[in-house]
Amino acid sequence: MLDKYNYIAIEGPIGVGKTSLAQRLSDHLGAQTLLEKPEENPFLARFYQDPLRNALPTQLFFLFQRSNEVRDLAQRDLFQTRTITDYLFDKDRLFARINLSDEEFSLYQNIYASLAPQAPAPDLVIYLQAPVEKLVERVRRRAHAHERAISDFYLTRLAQAYSDFFHHYDAAPVLVINSEHLNFVDNEDDFSLLLQRINEMRGPREFFSMGA
C-alpha cells in the first residue's frame, strides 16, 4: 500500500497536526522522518512577543535551517528510502511574506536566491486544514513554551496565507484534508480511512472531509 509515494510532505498552519501525522505515517510505513525543529530557533519566542523587531532573524534562522535539511534530503536516495516530512520547503516564503516588511522581504529574497535551495518535489503533499477556532484550541492545549504568545489574529492570517498558497500550488499532487473532526493519531478508523484515500488518489488535487 502507498508504494508509489516515497516522499510525502505534510503541511498546514500551526496547530493543525502536521508533526503528529508525520510521525504516525512514518511509524506505519517504516519511513524516515524529516521534521521541523522550531524549538532550536532562538528568536521564535521573541518573535511571537514582538513580531516587528524579531521577524527577520526568526525567518533567516528558519531559512538556513531548512536549506541544510533540504540539502540532506536531496542527497538521499528517495527511491530506496521512504521519507515523511512535516513541512514543504516551498512554503518558507509564505511566512516571510506575511511577517517581514517590504525592505526585509527584499533582503530575504536575495538571501534565498543566493542559497538556491533545490528541494525535490514530493510525490504527495497532504495539506491539513482546520477552522481557526480549532487551531487556537489545539495550540493552547499543547502549551509549547515558544507558542504561548501566538495571537488569534496571527493564526487567522496564517490560515488564510496557507489557503492562498495552496490555491496556486501545482508542483505535486495535493490531498486537501479538513481535519476538524478527524483524529489520525488516536483513532484507528480515521487513520485507516486516510490510508485508503491516499491510495485512491488519482488526480492532481483531491479533497477529504468528514462531518461531526
CA distance 95 to 68: 18
If we measure between CA atoms, which residue out of 34, 14, 12 comes closest to residue 23?
34
pLDDT of residue 124: 96
Q: Is residue 198 part of a domain?
A: yes
- pLDDT for 77: 61
The pLDDT of residue 80 is: 65
The sign one gets for the Cα dihedral 190, 194, 200, 204 is: positive
CA distance 99 to 144: 21
What pLDDT sits at residue 196?
A: 93
Task: Per residue of the chain (212 residues), give pLDDT as tens.
Answer: 577 898 999 999 999 999 999 999 999 999 999 898 998 999 998 999 999 999 999 999 999 998 888 777 767 665 567 899 999 988 888 999 999 999 999 999 999 988 866 778 899 999 999 999 999 998 888 767 677 778 899 999 999 999 999 999 999 999 999 999 899 989 999 999 999 999 999 889 999 886 54
Evaluate whether residue 101 is within a structural domain: yes
**Is the residue at 2 inside a domain?**
no
Q: For residue 1, tell me if it sits in a domain.
A: no
- 104 SS3 class: helix
Residue ranges making up the domain that contains 49: 7-209
Closest CA to 176 of 146, 153, 206: 206
> What was the pLDDT predicted at 1?
59
Helix, strand, coil in percent for the chain, rounding step 5: 55, 15, 35
User: Does 28 reside within a domain?
Assistant: yes
Domains identified in the chain, total number: 1
Bridge partners of 207, per DSSP, are: 176
Q: How many CB atoms lie within 10 A of CB 28?
A: 15
Please give the Cα distance from 137 to 143 (Å, whole number): 10
Residue 38 included in any domain = yes
**Which CATH number does the domain housing residue 121 bear?**
3.40.50.300
Closest CA to 179 of 31, 15, 7: 15
Contact between 84 and 33 under an 8 Å Cβ cutoff? The reply is yes
Task: Give pLDDT, residue 130.
Answer: 93
Measured from the Cβ of residue 189, the count of other Cβ atoms closer than 10 Å reads 9
